[in-house]
Structure 1
Amino acid sequence: MTEHSTPQELRNRLVDRIVKASLPGLYDARVEDAMRTVPRHDFIPQASLELAYANQAVTIKDNPDPDALPLSCASQPDVVFFMLAQLGIQPGNNILEAGAGTGYNAALMRHLTGPTGNVTTLDYHEDVAAHARQRLDATGFSDVRVLTRDGALGAPEYAPFDRLIATVGVWDLPASWWDQLAVGGRLVLPLRWRGLTRSIAFVREADCLRSESLATCGFLPMIGQDGEREGYVDADHLVKLYWDADQPIHALSLRKSLAEAKEHLLWTNVAVAPDEPLDGIWLRLSAVDPATCRITVRPEAFASAAGLHRPAIPALSPALVEGDSVAYLVLEPVDVQGSKRYRLGAAGYGPAGQELAERLGMQLRAWDDDRTLPPSIIAYPAGTPDEKMASGHVIDKPSGRLVITY
């Protein structure tokens, strides 16, 4: 930033970078115009102009627990961009947002709906909603409705909605959203399952929601959804698992297998470039194997010669867990025609460690056949009979059933 840069200049530079790096198929010229027009810095006045126009999230409500995630953040601008592109707002749309945050996203949506549209935004925290209300009023968006309310309840008094967006991580689709989203409407949300999160654009059909696009993202979880579990495997708190409530996983069951560190190492011929993302592997695993979860391993656990094999991403690696056995993604540097690459494989531990490593390896090879192929995700209301759903891997949650297929 130069000394004399104006907010508009900073905003244009940020949007220029976002557009240049935008994801394939997730560009919308009207969203670009909105982000060049609506002043983000006015919604986070506590931040410097440099921070306001950096491509990063900004905390607006800290958590009193210093070891916990913040309670509310202003989302990273490039994520705001592609989620609004996924939402496909049209003039005159009636829109509901779960997670008011700073009010910035609601202002962008109000800009996009034009004079005949409506935007209602909800936030669980009274002070966050009050901040959004004050900032929207101060920036000329006083007709946006701001309600202090659990986002999972929606706003039935203003339904039906043409568009519904969540700016918090959602583990289970709230039943109220099914009732409040019009058939033909669009729902965009950061959906969480098996330890991963994807921003999914769903189109509402009469009896289901069908995915149209997916993008990698990360969001603070929605308050009140208690479907995710976590637990340390070892007494030293070096190895931790994250899984879903419907999975029969017990972290302590792995303690003996990992302590013995009898490893089954399987390498494939699949190789990636140093900067190539691995998230598609995890996504594919979640679509085919019910044992899929997440493992984190602190460096001390693999620092010694007798320690565990280093996971591909120690803080965020996919794993398969069954009973007292586990396998997770690993990599090693290799030279391919003079270029540095990383060969992918699986490290398995426990009585079924070899079998789990082979299952993971099989999905590595399947991913290698088409690394950009997205899955189809169809959501049905809870209680939908199997015979009325598409075929595929089913993940059941209290308010909905997901069918994931490749």
Structure 2
Amino acid sequence: MAESVDAAALRERLVAILKQRGHIRSAPVEQAFRTVPREQFLPGVDLETVYARRQVVTKRDPNGAALSSASSPSLVADMLEQLAPRPGDHVLEIGAATGINAALLAELTSPGGTVTTIELDQDLADGARAGLDRAGYHTVEVICGDGAFGHPESAPYDRIHVTAGAWDISAAWWDQLAEHGRIVVPLRVHESGLTRCFAFDRTGLHHLVSTTTPLVCGFVPLRGAAGHTDQHVRLDADVVLKLDAADKPDRAALASILSHPRYELWTGIQVTDDDAIGHLDLWLLVNASAPFGRLRAGDTARTTGLVTPAYRWAGAAIYHGGTIAYLAFHDTVDGHLELGAIAYGPDAGELATQLTDLLGQWDGAGRPNQPTVTADRAGTRPAQTGDISRPDTVLTISF
């Protein structure tokens, strides 16, 4: 009984924090979070961790990489607000994981709705089923299968909710989304792993339009037929440049860039942690003429000062040949952060100038943070400059 009381108290505390920080914005999502007992889906995990605002990894591959997890409640709430499921909706979830999200969806679509959730691995599907049964959500349908193919037997779906990092909006999801339906999907818009969670409304047979500000997020990649591997070049034991193979990078030249002197160039542009500038990296991807990449630096590389990318934007950078320039922060006397570029390579000065010029354009344009994103089914319209092409979908992103 004491543990039950503690769980209820922790649940209330979590809801209060999520509301205060703007992750829960609607009464239905609030009520769902108050109702679903997260502890029933994470057996063996201590209650404080169950109700903490962080990811809980539940399965790893032999190398230690996460294969499945319970996402941070903050992100779960944000995505449910994007999805906005209604009572009576028919919902398909791609990625059952622990089953927590399916339970929340069951609450949000009651009465009259249905929830079908798909998980690739049998052990994970069995775990989700067990958790849903323990918590009393017996009507949720749990399927063991490849989420890229959806579940045509129960289609069409008013809402499709993807809870893994996707490279594409698969043909099956296009086929199974209802007329005027909505799909929420964390899309990797660049092979470096740059990901945004978009809420797309269907406005035509072959056309989707993003309806809300996308979420900055990171997800365990979708596996199975739709799996796609990130590309990278190792620059040091603790430093990797993630990039897009389509840009035909000179991998040998990039691998030796840290042997060049460090070059710094600062802009005078000041920002704070509270500024709404989370999509600067996406803006750079859209507007830079040089190839885009992301610099992943481990703790050792940062503490020794080998590379010091800004802690926002996941190491956003541009590169050319054997030169790279990445976004950096510099403390100012008044407690703000100055934006700048740090570059390495034979053309460091030129590329740093190119990056700081881009920052000046971004600042001069009012620091745009609301992208316009559309998706068209592949092959249904002529190609356009700036298209992001996938096997089943063509994306356009503009600011």
Distance 1:91 1:248, change over 3 A: same
Give the aligned residue type for 1:210. V
Q: Tell me which moved more, 169-178 or 147-156.
A: 169-178
1:109 deviates by: 0.6
1:395 deviates by: 1.5
Q: Tell me which moved more, 248-257 or 175-184.
A: 248-257
2:135 aligned partner: 139
Cα pair 2:278 2:312 within 8 Å, conserved: no
2:386 aligned partner: 393
Cα pair 1:100 1:132 within 8 Å, conserved: yes
Cα pair 1:233 1:252 within 8 Å, conserved: no
SS in 1 for 2:246: coil
1:37 aligned partner: 35
Aligned-pair identity in percent equals: 39
1:119 deviates by: 0.6
* Number of equivalenced pairs: 390
Cα pair 1:93 1:162 within 8 Å, conserved: yes
1:282 aligned partner: 281
Query: Structure 1 residue 266 and structure 2 residue 265: aligned?
Result: yes
Cα pair 1:163 1:186 within 8 Å, conserved: yes
Cα distance in 1 for partners of 2:370, 2:276 equals 14
Cα distance in 2 for partners of 1:386, 1:269 equals 42
1:364 aligned partner: 359
1:4 deviates by: 9.1
SS in 1 for 2:211: strand
SS in 1 for 2:362: helix
Q: Give RMSD over aligned pairs.
A: 2.5
Give the aligned residue type for 1:181. L
Cα distance in 1 for partners of 2:152, 2:98 equals 23
Cα distance in 1 for partners of 2:131, 2:256 equals 55
Cα distance in 2 for partners of 1:142, 1:245 equals 45
1:216 aligned partner: 216
1:248 aligned partner: 248
1:52 deviates by: 1.4
2:87 aligned partner: 91
Deviations 1:210-240 (A, max 9, x none): 1112112221111142252122134xx2331
Cα distance in 2 for partners of 1:302, 1:15 equals 35
1:186 deviates by: 0.6
Cα pair 2:260 2:346 within 8 Å, conserved: no
Cα distance in 2 for partners of 1:281, 1:120 equals 36
Cα distance in 2 for partners of 1:332, 1:340 equals 10
Cα distance in 1 for partners of 2:116, 2:277 equals 37
Cα distance in 1 for partners of 2:253, 2:380 equals 34
2:16 aligned partner: 16
Cα pair 1:241 1:251 within 8 Å, conserved: no
Cα distance in 1 for partners of 2:181, 2:32 equals 21
What are the within-5 Å matches in structure 2 for residues 1-400 of structure 1? 5-23=5-23, 27-66=25-64, 69-194=65-190, 195-206=193-204, 207-213=206-212, 214-224=214-224, 225-234=227-236, 237-261=237-261, 263-273=262-272, 279-289=278-288, 291-298=291-298, 310-313=308-311, 316-335=314-333, 339-368=334-363, 369-371=365-367, 373-386=369-382, 393-400=386-393
Cα distance in 1 for partners of 2:243, 2:294 equals 7
1:346 deviates by: 1.0
Q: Tell me which moved more, 125-134 or 51-60.
A: 51-60
Structure 1: which 5+ residue stretches go unaligned?
A: none
Give the aligned residue type for 1:354. G
Cα distance in 1 for partners of 2:166, 2:124 equals 19
Deviations 1:135-181 (A, max 9, x none): 21222211111000111111111111110011111122212111111
1:89 deviates by: 0.5
Distance 1:83 1:252, change over 3 A: same
Q: TM-score, normalised by structure 1?
A: 0.88
Moved over 6 A (4+): none
Deviations 1:70-103 (A, max 9, x none): 2111111111111011001011111000000111
Q: In structure 2, which of residues 383, 388, 395 is the aligned counterpart of residue 402 of structure 1? A: 395
Cα pair 1:103 1:136 within 8 Å, conserved: yes
Cα pair 1:298 1:315 within 8 Å, conserved: no
1:3 deviates by: 8.8
Distance 1:82 1:302, change over 3 A: closer
Cα pair 2:288 2:358 within 8 Å, conserved: no
Cα distance in 2 for partners of 1:258, 1:16 equals 46
Distance 1:200 1:260, change over 3 A: same
Cα distance in 1 for partners of 2:169, 2:244 equals 15
Cα distance in 1 for partners of 2:25, 2:366 equals 23
Give the aligned residue type for 2:247. Q
Cα pair 2:280 2:313 within 8 Å, conserved: no
Cα distance in 2 for partners of 1:80, 1:176 equals 24
Deviations 1:250-280 (A, max 9, x none): 433223443122x443211211225657632
Deviations 1:12-40 (A, max 9, x none): 110000011015xx722101111101111
Deviations 1:196-218 (A, max 9, x none): 22221111121221111211222
SS in 2 for 1:279: coil
Give the aligned residue type for 2:353. E
Q: TM-score, normalised by structure 2?
A: 0.90
1:300 deviates by: 5.7
Distance 1:303 1:107, change over 3 A: closer
